Structure 1
Amino acid sequence: MQVLIDQMGTSKVAIVESSDIVISDVQGALDLMASVRYTYGCEKILLNKSNLAEDFFELKTRLAGEILQKYTNYKVRLAVVGDFDEYDSKSLQDFIYESNKGKQVFFLKDKQAALHALHSIA
């Protein structure tokens, strides 16, 4: 796993690059958050969809809810980049739609849109 920092003014985004699954459970999400926060001083993280376990996108597992609640509690913002149209779950599509309306978590198709969303919030 490699972490690159994208900085715009005082806003810093940690871009996680890996060919492996980085988050497969709540503890993995907490470990990533702590590592990025304390090593790089970032409270904004950009991940590729492929870095999340497929269970994350199966809402009945509650993995997404638990992870995103932890990130919200610790005031860490997250953007996930990928094609989410492959999922035909209406619940997941609604979850993604509602998330994108907020300022905490974003599910976007490309890296530039994700960086813009993360840098746009204080």
Structure 2
Amino acid sequence: MNIISHTINNKEIAEVSAERILIQSIEDALDLIGNIYYQGFDAMIVYEKNLTPDFFELKNKLAGEVLQKFTNYRMRLAVVGEFSKFDSKSLNDFIYESNKGKQVNFAGSIEEALEAMAK
């Protein structure tokens, strides 16, 4: 796992990437939140490729449960990826609504993710 540190508006943001899936379950999300928080970060950016494909199947409720953990622990999250490949209207609506808020954002690039974190 690689972590790149970004500082925006006195907030420490961890850009996390790996060659493997980092979040396959709620427990994985909790472990990652704890790890990143322990290292002094206020927010996290992860890549779509590091989330299990099940995350993007809203029917199984994994995304909702994982994102609830980020909310509960007040760890902002941005997910960077190519989301247009998903044909799910409910997923596209979910992404649209998430991007209206500040807690969870979906972005097409690291620059967009950092811009969202700056708000």
The TM-score range, normalised by the shorter chain, is over 0.9
Report 1:1-80 matches (<5 A): 1-39=1-39, 41-80=40-79
Gaps of 5+ in 2: none
Q: Is the 8 A contact 1:78 1:104 kept in 2?
A: yes
Q: Is the 8 A contact 2:77 2:105 kept in 1?
A: yes
The alpha-carbon deviation at position 9 of structure 1 amounts to 4.1
TM-score, with length taken from structure 2: 0.97
Q: Which residue of 2 aligns with 1:115?
A: 114
CA deviation digits over 1:5-48, x for unaligned, max 9? 11134111100021110100000000000000002x11200011
Gap change, CA 1:9 and 1:96, over 3 Å in 2: closer
Question: Within 1, Cα distance between the matches of 2:8 and 2:89?
Answer: 35
Identity, in percent, stands at 48
The number of residues matched between the two structures is: 119
Q: Is the 8 A contact 1:12 1:119 kept in 2?
A: no
For residue 42 of structure 1, what is the amino acid of its counterpart?
A: F
CA deviation digits over 1:51-77, x for unaligned, max 9? 000000000110000011111111110
